[in-house]
A = this chain, B = another copy of it.
Amino acid sequence: MIERRDVFQAIADPTRRIIISKLSQRPLNITQIGEDLKMSKQAIAKHIRILRECGMIVMNQKGREQVCEAQLTQLDEVTDWVTQSRKLWNQRFEKLDQFLASTKK
């Protein structure tokens, strides 16, 4: 197995999706992120590291705090892939409809 560090893998974990949702509203430090997550701060820090490695968050040192800020432009990669797949899939049905319509004539 190869350690994958891409956007698709980043958003695969539900905890990471919660973290991204929180940070999409305002920057937070690691303690704040972990506040209502039933998990050790170390576990949170690990998720943060993964998200940082994927370029989905950036860090700003502020005294002893690490302030995390979302960087969500990368999510376009996901939207693009999903949109493209759904488009092709829908086209299959459109073509089928056209065929049915033409044979009815």
Contacts and interface: CB of A to CB of B under 8 A. Distances in A.
Interface string A25-59: 11000000000000000000000000000000000
A66 interface: no
A70 interface: yes
Interface residues of A, number: 26
Contact of A88 (B24, B82, B86): B24
Nearest to A70: B89
B8 A89 contact: no
Contacts of A14: 4, 8
Contacts of A8: 11-12, 14, 17
Contacts of A84: 21
Interface in A2-30: 4, 8-9, 11-12, 14, 17, 20-21, 24-26
Interface of A: 4, 8-9, 11-12, 14, 17, 20-21, 24-26, 70, 72, 75, 78-79, 81-86, 88-89, 92
